[in-house]
Amino acid sequence: MPLERTEVKLDETSPVHNFGHGAQAFLLLELPAYTKTYAVSISNVPQAPNVLSRSELTHLAMRIETLDADFVPVRVYPHTGMKKRGNGYDKTVFINPSNQHERYLLVYGALNAEPERLTLSRTDVVFVGTGFFIGGIDNALTLKAAGNGLLVVEAKGLQP
């Protein structure tokens, strides 16, 4: 478990497992032994699938599970339960006395997630004499689920 904010890329070099939709990359984090309440924040970072793509972004539509010592799921957070942050999503998982027996955090993609339409706006204000002109650009994007992507993991409340 990284104690500082860490970027993790899930790609073709990552370990894979079949979670019911074919083999896909996953991230398995070992949780530290419980001594006091802490939280693990995981967020995804949307990326352009290629250099020429201006109207499409892909992201790992996260599905997060906490597992016990025998790798049996205890808590499951589907991609629909994530918080929207900008263009991406994030989830904070709290480890409290009631769930101190959880030992692992598993993150993988929900490949069946529906694409989303996003609109990114930029406003420009130009001052001319005593007046002003407001213009801008609206960009429509499609956010598609992918089996790989960039994650940001951060533990809060743990000390080295």
CATH number of residue 47's parent domain: 2.60.120
In Å, what is the CA distance from 2 to each residue of 28, 139, 147? 12, 36, 22
Torsion, Cα of 149, 143, 50, 11 (10° steps) = 10
Q: Does residue 139 sit within a domain? A: no
Is residue 30, in this structure, part of any structural domain at all? yes
The model carries a pTM of: 0.79
119 falls within a domain = no
Give the structural domain span for 152. 6-112+145-156
pLDDT at 64 over 80: yes
Residue 55 forms part of a structural domain: yes
What pLDDT is attached to residue 50?
A: 66
CA 96 to chain centre: 22
Per-residue pLDDT band at 105 (split at 50, 70, 90):
very high
Total domains in the fold of the chain: 1
d(CA 104, CA 73): 9
- Indicate whether 140 belongs to any domain: no
